[in-house]
Structure 1
Amino acid sequence: MGRPAKFTHSQLQAAALALVDREGLAGLSMRALAGELGTGAMTLYNYVSQREDIDLLVVEAVIGEARWPLVDYAQWQDEVRAIATALWQAVRAHPHAIALILTRRSRSPAVFEVTEALLRALARSGRSGQALLVAFRAVSGLITGLAQSELAGPLALQASESAELTIARFRALPAERFAHLIDIANAAAGSTADTEFQASLDLLLAGLSADRGGGDR
């Protein structure tokens, strides 16, 4: 029998994600991951050969957390909602990994599986080709876009500014010039990212449902 692996793939994923959650992408390196695992950098080369391999570990770990009920959904909208919500929750839980998900997703088999599941659900609406592509980009863009915007807080312009200070600053704008900015600032004070995501998904699904053209167009 061959010598058993010292680290499993799941252990490598968990360690890489823990490092990114704690230190951000700037803290992710071969040496840092080796330290997280309690081993030497040379030992780590038995498992990964380059930095991109470490990036993929993080992406796989995040996407692997996206789980939804594997049941027969009567309506395609319900299936899309279940998958999209699971992805949103996974991505939102690890905001520092969003950049890697956006740039490395085309190289990860784990992402392929989830992507195919979402495409399959959207295809139940009768879409294919270009129409399916547009619907997929709309849903996936909502997930990653809202997760990215949450990093800055509602309406934030300065990374160091708290959400409360940001909202207060917008509320103090001249009402005769910026009535609508003040309106959404007031709304943001009592809003949450989850509420906004579900409401946005409602709008998106309603639009996809109303657009009955479907097909490859």
Structure 2
Amino acid sequence: MPRPRSFTSAQIAAAALAVLDRDGLEGLSMRAVGKELGTATMALYRYVADRAQLEALVVDLVLGLVDPALPAGSLTERLTVLAERVRQAVGEHSAVVPLLLVHRHTSAASQRWGEAVLTALAEAGFTGRRRVIAFRAYLSLVLGALQTEYYSPLSGPGTEALSEQDEFPVLAETARAAGKIRAEEEFREGLALLLRGLTGAGKAP
């Protein structure tokens, strides 16, 4: 009888990401990943307990593509670079977006990136409660913008429908304007607004 194949966590994560990229989140399953690896579904349970652990491996793999090194520059420059790194890595595997918030606490790669962000804030003079709120606001902007872009893009049927309705005229006007904004512009300008708030009024450099 042939000996069962052995797989590393990295191999399983790579197979799961391949399924996710090809078939989307709805296509991600233990069976699909087992097939990608050329092994039986039940054999996969020797390595991962369930789909949730599979998802966590994928999130850590994608966020592992993000360079966690602290960039040089002002606080605004540092946080801009760190945010752009996440957007670039996730943008290449957009189907992972719905999993980011769910599994970020279990991802070592997410923690390395978070440490870089918090170090930038600490070195800019943010301490205690103020640092917590600044970090959470920044995290909400970065991950929230990715979620919004994924579920509710600026252009598409949803925006077009809003732009054509008459009941809410300001909403319609805004939807028409939204269709002319590129996703990367929305991300960068929204981030810039937040960072102006964090660094304004002489509170941080």
Q: TM-score, normalised by structure 1?
A: 0.79
More displaced stretch, 5-14 vs 100-109: 5-14
Partner of 2:28: 28
1:172 to 164, 171, 193: 164
Aligned ranges 1:10-89 → 2 under 5 Å: 10-67=10-67, 70=69, 73-89=72-88
Q: CA distance change for structure 1 residues 108 and 171 in 2, over 3 Å: closer, same or farther?
A: closer
Q: CA distance change for structure 1 residues 47 and 203 in 2, over 3 Å: closer, same or farther?
A: same
- CA shift, 1:35, in A, is 0.7
- SS at structure 2 position matched to 1:74: coil
- CA shift, 1:154, in A, is 4.0
CA distance in 1, matches of 2:23, 2:198: 39
Aligned ranges 1:111-150 → 2 under 5 Å: 111-150=110-149
Partner of 1:7: 7
Alpha-carbon deviations, 1:62-94, whole Å to 9, x = none? 2112237x4651312211111111112223433
Partner of 1:160: none
Aligned residues: 201
Would you say 1:192 and 2:196 are equivalent positions? no
- What letter matches 1:142 in structure 2? L
Q: Is the 8 A contact 1:91 1:144 kept in 2?
A: no
Alpha-carbon deviations, 1:103-159, whole Å to 9, x = none? 12112222211111111112222112211111111111112211111223346xxxx
Query: Which consecutive residues of structure 2, in runs of 5 or more, have no partner in the other structure?
Result: none
CA distance in 2, matches of 1:44, 1:10: 13
The share of aligned pairs that are identical, in percent, is: 38
Partner of 1:210: 200
- SS at structure 1 position matched to 2:17: helix
Q: CA distance change for structure 1 residues 76 and 164 in 2, over 3 Å: closer, same or farther?
A: closer
CA distance in 2, matches of 1:44, 1:154: 36
- CA shift, 1:37, in A, is 0.9
Q: CA RMSD in A?
A: 2.6
- CA shift, 1:60, in A, is 0.8
- SS at structure 1 position matched to 2:49: coil
- CA shift, 1:211, in A, is 4.6
Partner of 1:158: none
Partner of 2:171: 181
- What letter matches 1:152 in structure 2? Y
Q: Is the 8 A contact 2:70 2:120 kept in 1?
A: no
Q: Is the 8 A contact 2:97 2:150 kept in 1?
A: no
Query: Which consecutive residues of structure 1, in runs of 5 or more, have no partner in the other structure?
Result: 156-162
Partner of 1:159: none
Q: CA distance change for structure 1 residues 52 and 151 in 2, over 3 Å: closer, same or farther?
A: closer
Q: CA distance change for structure 1 residues 78 and 172 in 2, over 3 Å: closer, same or farther?
A: same
Q: TM-score, normalised by structure 2?
A: 0.83
CA distance in 1, matches of 2:22, 2:130: 40
Q: Is the 8 A contact 2:16 2:58 kept in 1?
A: yes
